[in-house]
Amino acid sequence: MSWLSRLNPRGPGTQTSRHAAPSSPCTADPETCLMVFENHWRQVRHRVLKQRESSVGGYADDLTAVRNHTDQMLCLLAEERPAGGDIESPAMGPILEMVVAENILDELVQWHLRRGLAPDSQLELLKLFEMLIGQSHQPLLLHSPVLQPLLSLLGACVDPQLGCPAALESSLVLLLNQVIDRQIPKREGNLR
């Protein structure tokens, strides 16, 4: 676990308190964040492939593990701050490059759809996309491997068979608000 020591660097003579607040992912170097992201993705991929190979819909433990790893992965992606680029062609950080290259978000959404998208899973995915889009320091919606899974999820929320329970409506509205907010160009002089 050499990456763990790099997340919270210690100088000579410094001690880490047991009750100290965890360091923000932003304080870790991009290489370390990518390594952590890759580790979480390996764990998720293992469970996704395991379910694909079996005829069973999956276990509750698999769902919990995938959710926990996905939470960590998307937090790392949201916190990623790429260097370079400009407004016309913004730079992609290494985590976003991996998400785009391996179509990770689509794999996650499709896994949930194959399992049967229960209302609690719908709610979790809506909240994750809301957090990801709202807090990201990168223009994620420019990339089809981010936009397509979002559209698949939104389509599942209005699917006549799965429906969209009333309890999900507020999360759906918040997510759509985030999408619209990110699509409107921010100009000087706006009220934003």
pLDDT at 3: 42
CA distance 145 to 107: 10
| Extents of the domains making up the chain | 25-79+91-183
The candidate with the shortest Cα–Cα distance to 62, out of 38, 73, 46, is 46
Tens of pLDDT along the chain (192 residues) come to 444 444 444 334 444 333 333 444 456 788 999 999 999 999 999 988 777 656 555 567 788 999 999 999 999 999 998 877 666 677 899 999 999 999 999 999 999 988 888 878 888 999 999 999 999 989 899 899 999 999 999 888 876 765 667 778 888 889 999 899 888 765 544 444
CA distance 57 to 76: 28
CA distance 164 to 154: 9
SS3 content of the chain, % helix, strand, coil (to 5): 65, 0, 35
Say what the pTM is: 0.76
SS3 state of residue 90: strand
pLDDT at 1: 40
> Which residues lie below 8 Å from residue 25, measured CB to CB, with a gap of 6+?
33, 75, 76, 79
